[in-house]
């Protein structure tokens, strides 16, 4: 299913795993996990982690768990859990029922914390959050030890039990690991492992009023589940010593954490914290707005899971940060849709074309090929008649030199139809062209000309009396700048939102074969691009399409310019 890297080009994670298998570390097992926090919807950055976690497990005949890292009840909820599951499945991965929650381990984690206290490795601290910040030190200065650091084991056990029992208000006390306030790694300066939070949890209800912190929870959850390789993005590199410290102190199964570079892409932002602002401040219509880099946004836009997986296989896995050109993702989408999307004709900005010498009531059903790339997709019939619509763009009364489409006196081919020659135009009182008149040549049926006769353009069209009205939404990048986080003074990333990121065309006309088009279906509108039936707003009788991508492959162009160098 997922693309395998080419032979001999294994990434550093697969090399590490190969070696672990060779030396029989973990008994040759490979067991990964994907650990989302259910506090938002998944974006294309998460898809990279999913493809790595599930993809590697699949390749090595191992397992991958889906584990919700639900330790912060303030921002988490079951609606996110369901959405995340749906998105992972959509990407094409399955956790075979191994759906776990960090909150399932709260009791066990509490016991581990008590064990640390008893070993003299953790203490209850009464410093306020502000004081704690002061005591922590900086990158250049060591921290100071908390005055509560040397409490007796008995006092710590008792206070921690009373923290759990709800005797103290939020923020009044914490449980901290006793490591080293002078460590050059700030994460090792007696990090907090439990905080008091009188907040209801979506799964454990009111059972707990203390919650474990990420660093403590994550390594132990990995350990409890028997994970072998804990793959995560690079920001956790500085947390690895702490990951290892907890597991070493407690002497439990010790998975290996390996970090890889986060996915960054041009013209978008990939951080829940930023995406949530776009949604809440209504810059977009919601998490599934087709301009969003969320998986539900991309799905609605018409990106396919196969295309996203191919994209991930092409960008590969490395440790060094990089920014991937959005055009490469679009290239992968185009590449996949080119194979699977049937082609149809649709006119976005209609202009009436009347064929004066075509019989008034005649209708011909012409053969049209569904996908020249794949003959097995067959043919369909398209109605042709005296009055058609073509694109306004395809006609010019006074064409400049390089315009080869329809103009007065000029002949063009109508796709699958006939050659037509423009004889006249009709204008309204403002001088706007409202009708183009033509004559057709019956000898050119099917678009084939008698030998030797050439035209320079082939236009798409629909038959006016048969076409169906449709709304089409065109999209462009959400931001005007390749890196919207590179902001001028006094500005934020939101100052670079592209005001023209969406254009809604309400007067489009599509061929009648689309009458029963269903939400989520993909089509190529000939000469215009790939489009997807909108899964929210499109209904029988009201067709709505999203433009997924245009046909112009800017990635192929870039590649040509740089001499076919690889995209990595």
Q: Which positions are annotated as active-site residues?
A: 37, 262, 272
The answer to the question of residue 36 lying near ligand ATP (CB under 6 A) is yes
Which span (44-52, 250-258, 383-391, 421-429) binds ligand ATP, by CB under 6 A? 44-52
Residues 564 and 319: their CA atoms lie apart, in Å, by 24
Pick 322 or 500: Cβ nearer ligand ATP: 322
Nearest to 205 by CA among 66, 103, 112: 103
Q: Which residues pair with 350 in a beta bridge?
A: 391
- The DSSP call for residue 291 is T
Q: Smallest gap, in angstroms, from Cβ of residue 262 to ligand ATP?
A: 4
The answer to the question of residue 204 lying near ligand ATP (CB under 6 A) is no
Q: Smallest gap, in angstroms, from Cβ of residue 246 to ligand ATP?
A: 18
Pick 232 or 438: Cβ nearer ligand ATP: 232
What is the dihedral sign for C-alpha 7, 8, 11, 12?
Answer: positive
Helix (H), strand (E) at residue 440: strand 433-441
CB atoms near residue 228 (< 10 Å): 25
CB atoms near residue 300 (< 10 Å): 25
Nearest to 534 by CA among 514, 551, 554, 552: 514
Of positions 30, 35, 293, 368, contacts ligand ATP by CB under 6 A:
35
Pick 222 or 391: Cβ nearer ligand ATP: 222
Q: Smallest gap, in angstroms, from Cβ of residue 450 to ligand ATP?
A: 58
Per-residue binding string, ligand ATP, 236-275, x by CB under 6 A, is --------------------------xx------xxxx--
Q: Smallest gap, in angstroms, from Cβ of residue 306 to ligand ATP?
A: 19
Pick 273 or 282: Cβ nearer ligand ATP: 273
Q: Smallest gap, in angstroms, from Cβ of residue 534 to ligand ATP?
A: 26
Q: Residue 28 class from Cβ within 10 Å (0-12 exposed, 13-18 middle, 19+ buried)?
A: middle
Q: Smallest gap, in angstroms, from Cβ of residue 548 to ligand ATP?
A: 22
> Shortest Cβ contact with ligand ATP: which residue?
45
Helix (H, G, I), strand (E, B) or coil at 166: coil
Pick 321 or 393: Cβ nearer ligand ATP: 321
The answer to the question of residue 232 lying near ligand ATP (CB under 6 A) is yes
Q: Residue 316 class from Cβ within 10 Å (0-12 exposed, 13-18 middle, 19+ buried)?
A: middle
Which span (45-53, 277-285, 420-428, 445-453) binds ligand ATP, by CB under 6 A? 45-53
Name the pairing type of β-strands 210-212 and 229-233.
unpaired
Pick 273 or 561: Cβ nearer ligand ATP: 273
Q: Smallest gap, in angstroms, from Cβ of residue 100 to ligand ATP?
A: 14
Pick 75 or 381: Cβ nearer ligand ATP: 75
For residue 84, give every residue at least 6 positions away whose Cβ sits within 8 Å of its Cβ, in sequence order, or none.
Answer: 36, 38, 41, 42, 68
Task: Check: CB of residue 337 under 8 Å from CB of residue 304.
Answer: yes
Pick 41 or 440: Cβ nearer ligand ATP: 41
Q: Smallest gap, in angstroms, from Cβ of residue 231 to ligand ATP?
A: 7
SS3 assignment for 123-160: EEECCCHHHHHHHHCCCCCCCCCCCCCCCCHHHHHHHH
Residues 517 and 416: their CA atoms lie apart, in Å, by 22
- The DSSP call for residue 497 is B
Which span (32-40, 103-111, 371-379, 444-452) binds ligand ATP, by CB under 6 A? 32-40
SS3 assignment for 214-278: HHHHHHHHHHHCCCCEEEEEHHHHHHHHHHHHHHHHHCCCCCEEEEECCEEECCCCCCHHHHHHH
The answer to the question of residue 37 lying near ligand ATP (CB under 6 A) is yes
Of positions 233, 277, 385, 392, contacts ligand ATP by CB under 6 A:
233
Of positions 26, 45, 239, 501, contacts ligand ATP by CB under 6 A:
45
Task: Check: CB of residue 406 under 8 Å from CB of residue 422.
Answer: yes
Which span (30-38, 248-256, 375-383, 389-397) binds ligand ATP, by CB under 6 A? 30-38
Rounded alpha-carbon distances, angstroms, from residue 206 to 11, 158, 209: 45, 21, 7
Which span (31-39, 112-120, 146-154, 175-183) binds ligand ATP, by CB under 6 A? 31-39
Of positions 13, 30, 49, 344, contacts ligand ATP by CB under 6 A:
49
Name the pairing type of β-strands 529-533 and 522-525.
antiparallel
- The DSSP call for residue 417 is S
The answer to the question of residue 55 lying near ligand ATP (CB under 6 A) is no
Count residues near ligand ATP (CB under 6 A): 15
Pick 20 or 37: Cβ nearer ligand ATP: 37
Which span (43-51, 187-195, 409-417, 438-446) binds ligand ATP, by CB under 6 A? 43-51
Q: Smallest gap, in angstroms, from Cβ of residue 36 to ligand ATP?
A: 4
The answer to the question of residue 458 lying near ligand ATP (CB under 6 A) is no
The answer to the question of residue 518 lying near ligand ATP (CB under 6 A) is no
Of positions 13, 14, 31, 46, contacts ligand ATP by CB under 6 A:
46
Pick 48 or 334: Cβ nearer ligand ATP: 48
Q: Which residues pair with 524 in a beta bridge?
A: 343, 530
Residues 148 and 447: their CA atoms lie apart, in Å, by 87
The answer to the question of residue 48 lying near ligand ATP (CB under 6 A) is yes
Q: Smallest gap, in angstroms, from Cβ of residue 13 to ligand ATP?
A: 13
Chain residues binding ligand ATP by CB under 6 A are 35-37, 45-46, 48-49, 232-233, 262-263, 270-273
């Amino acid at each position: 299913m997922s693309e395998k890297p080419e032979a001999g080009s294994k990434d550093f994670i697969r090399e590490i795993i190969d070696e672990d298998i060779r030396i029989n570390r973990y008994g040759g097992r490979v067991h990964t996990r994907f650990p989302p926090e259910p506090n938002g919807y998944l974006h294309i950055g998460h898809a990279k982690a999913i493809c790595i976690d599930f993809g590697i497990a699949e390749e090595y005949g191992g397992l991958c768990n889906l584990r919700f890292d639900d330790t912060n009840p303030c921002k988490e909820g079951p609606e996110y859990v369901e959405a995340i599951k749906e998105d992972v499945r959509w990407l094409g991965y399955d956790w075979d029922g191994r759906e776990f929650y960090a909150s399932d381990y709260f009791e066990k984690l509490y016991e581990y914390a008590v064990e640390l206290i008893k070993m003299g490795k953790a203490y209850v601290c009464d410093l306020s959050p502000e004081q704690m910040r002061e005591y922590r030190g900086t990158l250049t200065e060591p921290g100071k030890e908390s005055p509560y650091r040397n409490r007796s084991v008995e006092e710590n056990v008792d206070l921690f039990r009373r923290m759990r029992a709800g005797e103290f208000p939020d923020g009044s006390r914490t449980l901290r690991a006793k490591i080293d306030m002078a460590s050059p790694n700030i994460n090792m300066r007696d990090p907090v492992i439990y905080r008091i939070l009188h907040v209801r949890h979506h799964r454990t209800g009111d059972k707990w009023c203390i919650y474990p912190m990420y660093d403590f929870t994550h390594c132990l959850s990995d350990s409890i589940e028997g994970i072998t390789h804990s793959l995560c993005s690079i920001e956790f590199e500085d947390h690895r010593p702490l990951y290892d410290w907890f597991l070493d102190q407690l002497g439990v199964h010790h998975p290996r954490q390996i970090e890889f570079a986060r996915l960054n892409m041009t013209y978008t932002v990939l951080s829940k914290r930023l995406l949530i602002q776009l949604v809440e401040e209504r810059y977009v219509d919601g998490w599934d707005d087709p301009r969003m880099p969320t998986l539900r946004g991309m799905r609605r836009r018409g990106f396919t899971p196969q295309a996203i997986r191919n994209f991930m296989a092409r960008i590969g896995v490395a440790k060094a940060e990089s920014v991937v050109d959005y055009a490469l993702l679009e290239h992968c989408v185009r590449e996949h849709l080119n194979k699977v999307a049937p082609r149809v004709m649709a006119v976005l900005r209609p202009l009436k074309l009347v064929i004066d010498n075509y019989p008034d009531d005649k209708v011909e059903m012409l053969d049209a090929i569904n996908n020249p790339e794949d003959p097995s997709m067959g043919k369909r019939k398209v109605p042709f008649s005296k009055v058609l619509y073509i694109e306004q763009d395809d006609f010019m009364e006074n064409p400049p030199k390089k315009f080869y489409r329809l103009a007065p006196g000029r002949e063009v081919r109508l796709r699958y139809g006939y050659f037509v020659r423009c004889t006249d135009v009709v204008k309204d009182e403002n001088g706007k062209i409202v009708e183009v008149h033509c004559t057709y040549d019956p000898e050119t049926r099917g678009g084939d000309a008698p030998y030797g006769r050439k035209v320079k353009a082939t236009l798409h069209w629909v038959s006016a009396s048969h076409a169906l009205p449709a709304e089409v939404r065109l999209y462009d990048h959400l931001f005007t700048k390749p890196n919207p986080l590179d902001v001028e003074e006094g500005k934020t990333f939101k100052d670079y939102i592209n005001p023209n990121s969406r254009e809604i065309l309400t007067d489009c006309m599509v061929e009648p074969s689309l009458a029963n088009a269903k939400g989520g279906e993909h089509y190529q509108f000939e000469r215009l691009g790939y489009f997807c039936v909108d899964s929210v707003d499109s209904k029988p009788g009201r067709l709505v399409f999203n433009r997924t991508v245009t046909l112009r492959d800017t990635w192929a162009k870039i590649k040509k310019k740089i001499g076919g160098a690889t995209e990595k």
